[in-house]
Structure 1
Amino acid sequence: MHSFWIIFKQAFLTKARTKSFIITTLVVAASFFLLANLSNIIALVDGEEDETDVLHVIDSSGELLPLLQEQLAAAGSPVEAVPAEKTEAELREGITDGSIQAFLELQQEGQLSARYVSESANGMGSAGAVEQAVQSLQTVLAAEQLGLEGAEVAQLFAPVAFEREAVSASSKSEEELNQSRGLVYILILLIYVAVIYYPNMIAMEVANEKSSRVMEILISSVSPVKHMFAKIAGIGTLGILQMAVFGAAGYLAIKTAGTELGGGMSDVFGFSDVKISTFLFAILFFLLGYFLYAVLAALLGSLVSRTEDVQQLMLPMMFLVIIASFIAFSGIAVPEATYVTVASYIPFFAPLVMFLRVGMLEIPLWEPLLSIALMLATIGVLGWIGARVYRGGVLMYGPSQSLKDIRKAIRLGENK
Structure 2
Amino acid sequence: MNKFWIVFWQTYSSKIKAKSFLIVTLIAVGAILLMTNINNIMDSIGSDSDSASKIAVVDETNEVFESLQTQLTMMEEDISLVKVESDEDLKAQTLEGEYEAYVTITLDENQLPQGTYYAPTIVEAMTAGMIEGALQQIKGQMAATQLNLSAMELASLNSPVQFEKVALEENAKSEEELNSARGIVYVLLFVIYFSVILYSSMIGSEVATEKSSRVMELLISSVSPVQQMFAKILGVALLSITQLGIILGVGYYSVKQNLQSLDSGFFEFFGFSNMPTSTIVYAIVFCLLGYFLYATLSAFLGSIVSRIEDLQQTLMPVQFLVMIGFFIAMYGLGNPDTPIVTVASYIPFFTPILMFMRVSMLEISVVEIMASMAIMIATIGILAWFGAKVYRGGVLMYGAKNSLKEIRKALQISRNN
TM over 0.5: yes
| 2:51 alignment partner, SS class | helix
1:346 is aligned to 347
Once residues 237 and 187 of structure 2 are traced to their aligned partners in structure 1, the CA distance between those partners, rounded to angstroms, is 20
Gaps of 5+ in 2: none
How far off is 1:72 after superposition?
A: 1.2
How far off is 1:169 after superposition?
A: 5.8
How is 1:170-189 mapped onto 2 (pairs within 5 angstroms)?
A: 171-189=172-190
1:389 is aligned to 390
1:216 is aligned to 217
Q: Label 1:331 to 1:347 Cα distance change in 2 as closer, same or farther (>3 A).
A: same
Once residues 50 and 120 of structure 1 are traced to their aligned partners in structure 2, the CA distance between those partners, rounded to angstroms, is 23
Once residues 402 and 347 of structure 2 are traced to their aligned partners in structure 1, the CA distance between those partners, rounded to angstroms, is 27
Structure 1 residue 122 and structure 2 residue 127: aligned? Answer: no
Q: Label 1:353 to 1:237 Cα distance change in 2 as closer, same or farther (>3 A).
A: same
Question: Per-residue CA shift, 1:221-273, capped at 9, x if unaligned?
Answer: 11110110000000011001111111122223334445445444323111233
After TM superposition, the score normalised by the length of structure 1 is 0.95
| 1:126 alignment partner, SS class | helix
Once residues 25 and 258 of structure 1 are traced to their aligned partners in structure 2, the CA distance between those partners, rounded to angstroms, is 23
Structure 1 residue 93 and structure 2 residue 92: aligned? Answer: yes
Once residues 391 and 162 of structure 1 are traced to their aligned partners in structure 2, the CA distance between those partners, rounded to angstroms, is 63
After TM superposition, the score normalised by the length of structure 2 is 0.95
Once residues 118 and 407 of structure 2 are traced to their aligned partners in structure 1, the CA distance between those partners, rounded to angstroms, is 67
Once residues 136 and 78 of structure 1 are traced to their aligned partners in structure 2, the CA distance between those partners, rounded to angstroms, is 19
Partner amino acid for 1:334?
Answer: N
How far off is 1:140 after superposition?
A: 1.2
Aligned residues: 415
Does the CA contact (< 8 Å) of 1:77 and 1:129 recur in 2? Answer: no
Once residues 52 and 174 of structure 1 are traced to their aligned partners in structure 2, the CA distance between those partners, rounded to angstroms, is 40
Question: Per-residue CA shift, 1:71-125, capped at 9, x if unaligned?
Answer: 112324421222025x424111122122210111111251211111111223523
| 2:274 alignment partner, SS class | coil
Partner amino acid for 1:101?
Answer: E
1:105 is aligned to 104
Q: Label 1:343 to 1:170 Cα distance change in 2 as closer, same or farther (>3 A).
A: farther
1:230 is aligned to 231
Does the CA contact (< 8 Å) of 2:192 and 2:353 recur in 1? Answer: yes
| 1:51 alignment partner, SS class | coil
2:51 is aligned to 51
Q: Label 1:263 to 1:49 Cα distance change in 2 as closer, same or farther (>3 A).
A: closer
How far off is 1:48 after superposition?
A: 4.7
| 1:228 alignment partner, SS class | helix
How is 1:31-46 mapped onto 2 (pairs within 5 angstroms)?
A: 31-46=31-46
Once residues 44 and 93 of structure 1 are traced to their aligned partners in structure 2, the CA distance between those partners, rounded to angstroms, is 33
Once residues 270 and 40 of structure 1 are traced to their aligned partners in structure 2, the CA distance between those partners, rounded to angstroms, is 19
Partner amino acid for 2:115?
Answer: A
Question: Per-residue CA shift, 1:305-359, capped at 9, x if unaligned?
Answer: 1111110100111110110100111111110111100100000000000100000
1:281 is aligned to 282
Does the CA contact (< 8 Å) of 1:393 and 1:409 recur in 2? Answer: yes
Does the CA contact (< 8 Å) of 1:195 and 1:290 recur in 2? Answer: yes
How is 1:253-272 mapped onto 2 (pairs within 5 angstroms)?
A: 253-257=254-258, 259-272=260-273
Gaps of 5+ in 1: none
What is the root-mean-square deviation of aligned Cα atoms in Å?
Answer: 1.8
1:305 is aligned to 306
Structure 1 residue 24 and structure 2 residue 40: aligned? Answer: no
Once residues 24 and 94 of structure 1 are traced to their aligned partners in structure 2, the CA distance between those partners, rounded to angstroms, is 47
Partner amino acid for 1:57?
Answer: V
1:320 is aligned to 321
